């Protein structure tokens, strides 16, 4: 799931002109689950705008990353000057394509793909590197969870099971080691991972997928 967080209020305010009418457009899927841009947050932000003196209200669509859903907000968007979109970056771009003449502001910072570890705590789990190798590391992704993306880890900085880069994160290699040891499969770590082809990741430029079998 995509995790995002709201931009600082000041940044959003700077984008809005005095006296404008503002629509806060929530997205009802990923960012609702991570409590950043669902209906609740959209209502909250709209009421804050009203408090600050803007004419503002809210609307939420199922998924802003699909044009069909965005068209449901057509009437609402027609009434305003500016839309503050509370979707991830994908959603904002789709929205902008649907309403090219409108001023649209991304209200969220899209942060990562991850999961809720517990109520109110989310952690990154996948980078979308395009070539999954989780099975080799007992399902702890070293690409994402190791700060240096080491495939032949650990580095020398692992201390107390914590990462030296951000000491409150677990060292991915400690986790891998612990889990493999529990399963008595430590020998898998003896095989050295060859250099990886990172072109399937972000370094190969924008990624695109064509599926001839589902294209009509």
Partner 1 sequence: MTKLLWLVDNPLLLPDFWLEKMEKEKGWKIEIRDRESKVLNFIDYDRIFILGDSLSFTRERLSLLAYEWKVNPSKIQVFPWEEVKIVFPQSFFSILEQFIAQSLAKPLAPLVAERVVPENKVLVLPQASQTLDQALKEKGIETVVAPSSTLRREGINFHLFPSGDTVGAVVVSPPEEITPPVSFSSEVEDTRKLVDLKFMEKEIEKKDFRGETIIFLLPKRGVTEKEWLQTFYLSRLLAKRDRAEIFVLVEEVLVAGENLEKEYRQARSCGVIFEKVTFSSLFAQPTLDMRGIEVEFTTERDRLKRKIKADWLVSLPERNVLPFDLAPFFDSDRIEEAILPLANPNLSSFSPGIEGIFVSLPGEEKNLVQVIEKYLTQGIVRERGRVEVNEEKCILCLTCLRTCPWRAVAIEKERKKTRVNWELCHLCGLCASFCPAHAIEIKGLSFEDWLSPVSLGGEK
Partner 2 sequence: MKIVALGCDKSGYPALLKWGEKNASPFEEVKLFSLPCLGLLTEEAIFRTLENSDALLLAGCPLDSCHNQNGSRGAYLKVKKVNALLQEAAIPKKVAVAFVTADKIGEIEKVSQELFWGEKNDNS
- First vs last C-alpha separation in the chain: 28
Site string for ligand SF4, 98-127 (x = CB under 6 A): ----------------------------xx
165: contact with partner 1 by CB under 8 A: no
Tell me the pairing of strands 121-126 and 103-106: unpaired
Among 65, 171, 172, 189, binds ligand SF4 (CB under 6 A): 65
40: contact with partner 1 by CB under 8 A: yes
Shortest separation between residue 44's beta carbon and partner 1, angstroms: 10
User: Residue 111 is inside which H or E element, if any?
Assistant: strand 108-118
User: Residue 21 is inside which H or E element, if any?
Assistant: strand 21-27
Instruction: Give the SS3 label for residue 92.
Output: helix
Site string for ligand SF4, 140-179 (x = CB under 6 A): -x-xx-----------------------------------
CA distance 27 to 37: 6
Distances (CA, A) of 44 to 19, 176, 204: 19, 41, 40
Residue number with CB closer to partner 1 (20 or 123)? 123
CA distance 200 to 197: 7
**Inter-residue contact 121 to 62 (CB < 8 Å):** no
50: contact with partner 2 by CB under 8 A: yes
Among 21, 43, 103, 162, binds partner 2 (CB under 8 A): 43
Which of the listed partners (partner 1, ligand SF4, partner 2, none) does 132 bind, with a CB threshold of 5 to 8 Å by partner kind?
ligand SF4
Instruction: Give the SS3 label for residue 159.
Output: strand
Q: Which residue ranges make up the site for ligand SF4 (CB under 6 A)?
A: 2, 27, 29-31, 63-65, 87-88, 90-91, 126-129, 132-134, 141, 143-144
Q: Which residue ranges make up the site for partner 2 (CB under 8 A)?
A: 8-10, 13, 40, 43-44, 47-48, 50-52
């Amino acid at each position: 799931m995509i995790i995002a967080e709201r931009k600082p209020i000041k940044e959003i305010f700077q984008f809005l002109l005095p006296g404008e009418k503002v629509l806060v457009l929530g997205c009802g899927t990923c960012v609702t689950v991570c409590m950043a841009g669902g209906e609740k947050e959209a209502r909250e932000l709209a009421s804050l705008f009203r408090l600050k003196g803007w004419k503002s209200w809210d609307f939420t669509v199922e998924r802003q990353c699909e044009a069909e859903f965005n068209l449901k907000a057509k009437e609402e968007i027609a009434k305003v000057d500016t839309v503050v979109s509370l979707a991830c970056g994908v959603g904002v771009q789709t929205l902008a394509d649907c309403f090219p003449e409108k001023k649209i502001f991304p209200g969220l910072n899209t942060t990562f793909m991850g999961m809720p570890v517990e109520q109110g705590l989310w952690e990154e789990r996948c980078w979308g590197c395009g070539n999954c190798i989780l099975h080799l590391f007992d399902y702890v992704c070293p690409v994402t969870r190791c700060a240096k993306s080491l495939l032949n880890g650990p580095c020398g900085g692992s201390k107390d099971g914590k990462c030296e880069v951000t000491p409150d994160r677990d060292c991915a290699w400690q986790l891998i080691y612990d889990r493999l040891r529990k399963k008595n499969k430590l020998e898998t770590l003896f095989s050295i991972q060859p250099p990886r082809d990172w072109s399937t990741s972000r370094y190969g430029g924008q990624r695109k997928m064509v599926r001839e079998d589902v294209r009509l």
